[in-house]
């Protein structure tokens, strides 16, 4: 590993905050469902009626797909203890490793021409796109081993806390059969039903995926053109500002700013640098935005150590991909490390 990357790994000691996740008990009558049992439930039969009406898919196909779905307890277990429930001190070592950085630099180098083209077209830096697929699937190596139909049925019918959301995802997944020619029986993804290298859930697939290679399909598994363009388009559609800053550390001193903190899923920028200064927070004089710009204020914790950071609009955009300051910080730091590695390559190459 070159010195630039080693220095980044050893020198980055940003500190992080706890994201709390409450695991609710399951009360659905189908909690012990197995293959085929879903078809015996009135709520599932009602869903099939809704899915057929909304998607226009043949009833016999929808019934066959749902009948084949298997309840997976390990999916429920996974969604009730996600990585985002960790502290930054626990979360960072998962994603900011020398191996992930080195392979991110190699990935960006291998796809340099395409990533440069996507950056020119969408204004999203190549290192950000690289970091997203690096955090999501280790550059396409780990795209998920669950059948998507099993994941969405399990969460839609047997996870009351977010059942409505995942039933909506299941309907969008059924729509993708016709729109993109997906094979429901074979399509695999994460425990939450996210698919392909960029891990789009079905609604994101339908609304933000792009046919980057012009073949008439949006393939998030095997087409690098579609994958990179889709990630960039997702960012643009959520307000990415080309060349704008992402995050910055501030010193809280003895200021009382609890009411200004963005916590949990409350991530929309809601305060300004001027308000932070008025509260006694030390904000760098060379802050990259005017004092009246709205920003997020959040903490990153590692043991007893706490750091305060502000996130600008582009940081908020990264949280639209995954609603977590831990996730957005990991993506940004990985992107910085990849950019540093690419710059070191250029310096060596002259």
Is 347 domain-assigned? Answer: no
How far is CA 137 from its chain centroid? 10
| 324 Ramachandran zone, left/alpha/beta (phi>0; psi -120 to 50) | beta
- Mean pLDDT calculated for residue range 101-128: 98
Q: Which of 119, 136, 225, 307 is catalytic?
A: 136
Structure confidence at residue 350 (pLDDT): 57
Structure confidence at residue 7 (pLDDT): 43
Please tell me which of 32-36, 127-131, 289-293 the model is most confident about, judged by mean pLDDT.
Answer: 127-131
- Look up the domain containing 297 and give its range: 247-311
Is 316 domain-assigned? Answer: no
Please tell me which of 25-29, 78-82, 229-233 the model is most confident about, judged by mean pLDDT.
Answer: 229-233
Give the tens place of pLDDT for each residue, 46-91. Answer: 999 999 999 999 999 999 999 999 999 999 999 998 888 899 999 9
Whole-angstrom Cα distance, residue 122 to residue 237? 10
Are 340 and 127 a contacting pair, CB within 8 Å?
no
Whole-angstrom Cα distance, residue 200 to residue 169? 11
Structure confidence at residue 81 (pLDDT): 86
pLDDT tier at 114, thresholds 50, 70, 90: very high
How many domains does the chain divide into?
1
Q: Answer yes or no: is pLDDT of 15 > 60.
A: no
Give the tens place of pLDDT for each residue, 180-193. Answer: 999 999 999 999 99
Whole-angstrom Cα distance, residue 205 to residue 212? 13
Is 31 domain-assigned? Answer: no
pLDDT tier at 25, thresholds 50, 70, 90: very low
Kindly report the pTM of this predicted structure.
Answer: 0.88
Q: Which residues have CB under 8 Å from 315's CB, separation 6+?
A: 246, 247, 296, 328, 332
Is 45 domain-assigned? Answer: no
The total of other beta-carbon atoms located within 10 Å of residue 199's CB is 24
Question: What's the mean pLDDT when you consider all of the chain?
Answer: 90
Give the tens place of pLDDT for each residue, 115-130. Answer: 999 999 999 999 999 9
Is 210 domain-assigned? Answer: no
Q: Answer yes or no: is pLDDT of 134 > 50.
A: yes
Residue 136 bears catalytic tag: yes
Report in angstroms the alpha-carbon separations of 347 from 334, 337, 341, 350.
Answer: 20, 15, 10, 5
Report in angstroms the alpha-carbon separations of 191 from 67, 68, 105, 166.
Answer: 19, 17, 28, 12
Q: At what angle do helices 112-122 and 224-237 cross, to 10 degrees?
A: 30
Using alpha carbons, select from 285, 38, 46, 61 the residue that is nearest to residue 155. 38
């Amino acid at each position: 590993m070159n010195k630039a990357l080693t220095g980044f790994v050893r020198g980055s000691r940003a500190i992080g905050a706890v994201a709390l996740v409450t695991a609710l008990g399951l009360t659905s009558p189908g909690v012990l469902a197995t293959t085929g049992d879903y078809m015996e439930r009135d709520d599932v039969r009602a869903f099939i009626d809704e899915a057929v009406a909304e998607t226009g898919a043949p009833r016999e196909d929808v019934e066959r797909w749902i009948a084949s779905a298997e309840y997976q307890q390990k999916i429920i277990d996974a969604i009730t203890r996600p990585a985002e429930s960790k502290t930054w001190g626990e979360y960072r070592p998962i994603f900011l490793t020398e191996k992930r950085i080195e392979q991110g630099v190699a990935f960006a180098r291998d796809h340099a021409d395409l990533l440069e083209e996507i950056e020119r077209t969408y204004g999203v830096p190549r290192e950000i796109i690289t970091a997203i697929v690096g955090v999501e699937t280790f550059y396409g190596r780990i795209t998920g081993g669950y059948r998507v139909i099993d994941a969405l049925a399990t969460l839609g019918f047997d996870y009351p806390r977010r059942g409505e959301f995942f039933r909506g995802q299941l309907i969008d997944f059924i729509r993708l059969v016709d729109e993109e020619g997906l094979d429901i029986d074979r399509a695999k993804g994460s425990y939450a039903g996210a698919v392909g290298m960029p891990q789009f859930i079905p609604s994101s697939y339908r609304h933000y995926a792009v046919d980057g290679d012009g073949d008439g399909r949006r393939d998030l598994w095997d087409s690098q053109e579609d994958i990179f363009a889709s990630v960039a388009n997702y960012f643009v559609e959520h307000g990415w500002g080309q060349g704008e800053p992402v995050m910055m550390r501030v010193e809280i001193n003895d200021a009382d700013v609890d009411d200004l903190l963005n916590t949990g899923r409350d991530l929309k920028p809601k305060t300004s640098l001027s308000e932070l200064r008025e509260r006694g927070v030390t904000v760098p004089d060379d802050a990259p935005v005017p004092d009246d710009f709205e920003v997020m204020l959040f903490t990153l914790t590692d043991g007893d150590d706490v750091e305060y950071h502000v996130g600008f609009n582009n940081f908020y955009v990264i949280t639209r991909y995954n609603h977590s300051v831990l996730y957005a910080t990991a993506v940004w730091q990985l992107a910085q490390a990849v950019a540093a590695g690419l710059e070191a390559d250029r310096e060596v190459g002259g």
